């Protein structure tokens, strides 16, 4: 049963259907059935949906498609920061006038184009929204695709779409949408809502879903990019046997299926999420997937002049804080943005922290530049477009984890692809934003990254 709303707890009197119609008339706004625009006019349901987000006073919450504020009424004044993203300019103005005095931020923007990167300045962000039927999937991709600042989400979508998000293998709704979402998130169906609580009443039911992050170690390590490509290929012609949709011959595909314990005649909808991860790994293994355990890796130990003394296992070098060598590479886009990687939680140091595009230790007998090229290939699966540019050299110190470091900048040749063994995920960021991020939240970054980034910026000047 839905909890009753206590009017004394509401910062505003929520709109009933009659009042909503008056506001629509005043704003000269006609809900679009084509876009699936319907507004909640039931306080009990609105309150219940907002409660599923389980907000706390220090939370940052972003709400998409707030409409006239049916959910906002139960969030405003209860969290540290509340951001509303509304595409319709008339509604955005209405919301700003209604909630602005409470410190609520109203952004007039298309949520499918909203830049989520500034949200990484928050500890974590909770997401809520009554998503329009026409754009619900695109909005979720924008906000939930890895790496994402969102910690959990509660949404309402058309039931047909919700069924696809939560679908299990073998069902008619199971497919690309299910797998692309479930790779990173656990989707839970909370409740189905009929047309009655909305104005205008939609022709379909709606589903309320909650998304929580899937534990990072629940699936085998894999490349998200290769996984996504494999899934899309596999479902390209759903009615055909799976081997017909894959970019390998039938014999190779059948051999892979047998290795996975699957029938040669298997179809795409029969594979579990784990099966798809396994298949993607076998079809296109990432360069780093076959690397030996890092702890046993032999590295050069050097003196204070960067002269090689001996070779020892990496784990010993780190524990003894012996001097050694490393590189950092910044991949730069044509738009002058820098790709940052979110380090794998399997890393022995700084797991789960943000770092340079690629970084790593120099192998025995290897030059710094050769190491930089190798790390680009092993970590992000690209080669430099043209020559690497050396932009800084940093002496070994506590700030570099006792590493002599050479820093390089390059433009990537090809599309970046990462693997969970080395890199969780990554994203391009503006240089100015990275500087602000380091200033506000240095704890988000690997120690060596901050040192290298500042050395590079000092070398090229603030205007470069």
Cβ atoms within 10 Å of 199's Cβ, excluding its own: 20
Rounded average pLDDT over 121-147: 93
Domain segments of the chain as ranges: 7-213, 224-285, 291-460
For residue 401, the model assigns a pLDDT of 87
Beta-bridge mates of residue 157: 207
Confidence bin at 286 (pLDDT 50/70/90): confident
Query: Are the CB atoms for 211 and 186 separated by under 8 Å?
Result: yes
In this structure, are residues 13 and 7 in contact, taking their beta carbons and an 8 Å threshold? yes
Closest CA to 179 of 272, 285, 262: 272
Mean pLDDT confidence for 271-298? 86
User: Residues 383, 464: contact at Cβ < 8 Å?
Assistant: no
**Minimal CA–CA distance to 154: which of 214, 68, 67, 64?**
64
Q: Is domain 224-285 annotated with CATH 1.10.760.10?
A: no
Q: What is the pLDDT of residues 24-57, one digit of tens each?
A: 767 777 776 666 678 888 999 999 999 999 999 9
Indicate if the pLDDT at residue 23 is higher than 90: no
| Sheet hosting strand 105-108, strand order edge to edge | 105-108, 81-86, 60-64, 125-130, 150-158, 206-213, 185-193
Q: What's the topology of domain 291-460?
A: Nucleoside Triphosphate Pyrophosphohydrolase (3.90.79)
Query: Coil, helix or strand for 139?
Result: helix
Bridge-based pairing of strands 324-332 and 403-410 is parallel
* Residue 462 confidence (pLDDT) above 60: no
For position 21, what pLDDT does the model report? 75
User: Whose structure tokens read 């010993």?
Assistant: 316
pLDDT of residue 463: 52
Residue 459: the pLDDT is: 86
As assigned by CATH, the class of the 7-213 domain is alpha beta
The structure's pTM equals 0.91
């Amino acid at each position: 049963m839905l909890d009753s709303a206590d009017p004394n707890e509401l910062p505003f009197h929520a709109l009933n259907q009659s009042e909503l119609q008056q506001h629509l008339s005043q704003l000269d706004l006609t809900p679009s059935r084509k876009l699936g625009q319907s507004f909640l006019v039931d306080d009990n349901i609105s309150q219940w949906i907002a409660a599923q987000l389980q907000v706390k006073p220090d939370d940052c919450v972003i709400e998409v498609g707030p409409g006239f504020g049916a959910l906002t009424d139960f969030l405003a004044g209860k969290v540290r920061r509340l951001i509303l993203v509304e595409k319709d300019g008339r509604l955005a103005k209405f919301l700003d006038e209604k909630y602005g005095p409470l410190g609520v931020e109203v952004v007039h923007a298309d949520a499918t184009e909203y830049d989520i990167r500034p949200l990484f300045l928050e500890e974590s962000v909770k997401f809520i929204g009554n998503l329009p039927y026409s754009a619900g999937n695109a909005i979720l991709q924008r906000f939930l695709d890895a790496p994402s600042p969102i910690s959990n989400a509660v949404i309402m979508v058309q039931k047909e779409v919700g069924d696809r998000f939560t679908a299990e293998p073998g069902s008619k709704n199971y497919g690309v949408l299910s797998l692309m979402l479930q790779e990173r998130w656990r989707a839970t169906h909370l409740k189905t809502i009929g047309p009655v609580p909305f104005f205008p009443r939609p022709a379909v039911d709606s589903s309320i879903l909650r998304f929580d992050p899937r534990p990072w170690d629940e699936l085998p390590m894999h490349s998200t990019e290769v996984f996504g490509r494999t899934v899309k290929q596999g479902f390209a012609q759903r009615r055909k046997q799976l081997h017909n949709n894959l970019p390998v011959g039938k014999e190779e595909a059948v051999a892979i299926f047998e290795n996975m314990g699957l029938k040669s005649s298997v179809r795409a909808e029969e594979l579990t999420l784990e099966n798809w991860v396994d298949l993607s790994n076998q079809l296109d293994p990432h360069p780093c997937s076959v690397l030996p355990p890092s702890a046993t890796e032999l590295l050069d130990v050097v003196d204070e002049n960067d002269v090689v003394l001996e070779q020892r296992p990496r784990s010993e070098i780190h524990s003894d804080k012996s001097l050694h060598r490393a590189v950092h590479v910044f991949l730069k886009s044509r738009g002058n943005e820098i790709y940052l990687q979110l380090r794998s939680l399997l890393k022995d140091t700084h797991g789960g922290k943000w770092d340079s595009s690629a970084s790593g230790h120099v192998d025995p007998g290897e030059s710094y530049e050769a190491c930089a090229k190798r790390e680009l290939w092993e970590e992000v699966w690209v080669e430099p477009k043209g020559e690497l540019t050396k932009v800084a050299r940093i002496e070994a110190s506590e700030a570099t984890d006792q590493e002599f470091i050479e820093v390089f900048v390059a433009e990537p040749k090809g599309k970046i692809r990462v693997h969970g063994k080395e890199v969780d995920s990554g994203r391009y960021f503006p240089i100015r934003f990275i500087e602000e991020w380091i200033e506000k939240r240095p704890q988000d970054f690997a120690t060596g990254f901050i040192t290298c980034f500042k050395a590079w910026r000092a070398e090229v000047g603030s205007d470069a």
